[in-house]
Structure 1
Amino acid sequence: MNYKDAGVNIDEGNKLVEMIKPIAKKTLTDNVLEGIGGFAALFEIKNYKNPVIVSSTDGVGTKLKIAFMMDKHDTVGIDLVAMCVNDIIVTGAKPLFFLDYFATGKLKSEVAVEVIKGIAEGCKIAGCALIGGETAELPGFYKEGEYDLAGFCVGIVEKEELIDTKSIKEGDAIIGLASSGIHSNGYSLVRKVFFEKNNFSVKDFIPELGMNLGDALLTPTKIYVKSIEALKELKIKGMAHITGGGFIDNIPRILRKSIAAKINKGSWKIPTIFNLIQRLGDIEEREMYRTFNMGIGMVVIVDPSDVDKALEKLNGIGEKAYVIGEIVESEGGVIL
């Protein structure tokens, strides 16, 4: 008996590593001293006086179930990168490098390499290097044809350039940056609404969406790195990545207890997919705003005098941005 008889194919793993190397190489920067294939990756820090290292780790959640149902694996890697880098940039940092963890019951290189292609694409969009990762073949641990993904990103920022949310005050403007769709949160509810309660298939064409349901649900999470870079000349007082917990739980994470975010519903167009979920699932409005991004994937808080400049810069790079509310005196939280 050997390891392969037990369900772990070392040769398949080595084959995947060789397939990954040229994909990852396209993401590397001059700072990478050692990338894929070694025991550890090496990254050189240059041109920083007082650097602060910023880190984030995340996954894609049950959105992966949609990828399995569709047998489409080239976009969930973008989601993985987005979930990590969008958390990093709210501190004022820029992402430097990324590592992934891919685990499955039986390794199929042709599937895994599609996932890695998505991760590499996400890294290119975010301007960070894919410098390493782990592929775990775990017989008996996952259902056949399924896998799990996790990612880890490291960024950097000069200490004096960290976003100081203590400066947020009454009257400050809340700018919302449009999402690309559901992003990567709320999929347990999404699957329950569409597939359990209403018996949809991922192949069903949805006229309101203009596409098949599966394609709509797999739309990759938007990466906001370039959008936030466009605002560097302005004083950003705070940012919130609208992920799990939606508006209700995420925006208060950057607010003092004496102020609140007053959101003006109707100041942006809520994408059709959310209206569909709410109607088919008979979901209360506040629950929608606590579960989903509702069409706003990133919130930026600035002084009212900077609003026009911010919108001009964002619109100039093709970003859809809206003034969606303001900071008011209150006992914390979000006012809808």
Structure 2
Amino acid sequence: MSMDLSPLGLGGAQLGNLYHAMSGETAEATVRRAWDEGIRYFDTAPHYGLGLSERRLGAALAAYPRDEFVVSTKVGRVLEPQAAEPGERDDQGFDVPATYRRGWDFSRDGVLRSLADSLTRLGLDRVDLVYVHDPDDHFTEAAEDAFPALLELRDQGVVQAIGAGINQAPMLSEFVRRFDLDHVLMAGRYTLLNQPALDELLPLCLERGVGVVAGGAFNAGILATAEPGRIYDYATAPVDLVWKAQEIAEVCARHGVELPDAALALPRTHPAVTSVVVGAHAPDQVALNVRRAAAKIPAGLWHDLVDAGLVRAGVLAAGGRP
């Protein structure tokens, strides 16, 4: 059974210097602002900044009562120290020194080691929720080793909840069918531009009582500003998607709604979605996201988007919150 998560969560990728560096002071202030704004769910991973996100998040959360927040992290990658050339930076989008390398490891021992290392970096005696992270090319190992290991840890009370986090819907659906999961972290697959999760994943999770955490509501940037950006799923957006985003923004404007407000609202229209996780590079960005998430969205907006063929009719049929 899924645990209670705050409706808006803070994603930890930016705390690991995704795309560009932030200072330690800014990282701490970002977490503190999230707390002050009522956010109580914080998601991170070893992958984010080669452990930097976990270290920064744990240090900032040390100021607050442990029982008042939920932390999730991920397994599937282990970090190995490596010799780096002077000035050599990480090659996976994080502005950090390349002093570690990531190794895929979905074995039972890899899961146990990854979780132990995460607890050390976080400075916590437990994490609440653990996801198997990005097993796209490792389905068999995840199914045969990682999930059984997490189920065992949950049975032992070491973790409270388990799940999977991935940037696709079909594999998440298969994991939900096969295992007794509590949550899935679905990144970028139920957004204004992309709703494949409607086909199977969201109805299946609703049927089985699996909470869905929606990540990537802005599809990595194209939906993050009133005028659509040019980054989609961490790459240059195809021209046709930019045009589509512009059309959606025009419909939103007719309803007095900004594009990012609608982008944060759409996932929450489905009753299977328990939380929307959004990252931030600064405290002010946290406050902006909180304000956007609280924006009132007229029900007519969704109808007009469906009528224009810009979002799927299933958005209306989901029976969720307008």
Which TM-score bucket, shorter chain as reference? under 0.3
TM-score normalized with structure 1 length: 0.25
**TM-score by structure 2 length?**
0.26
Instruction: Pick the structure with more strand per residue.
Output: 1
More helix by share: 2
- If asked which structure has higher relative contact order (CA below 8 Å, sep 6+), I would say 1
Q: Could you say which structure has the larger radius of gyration? A: 1
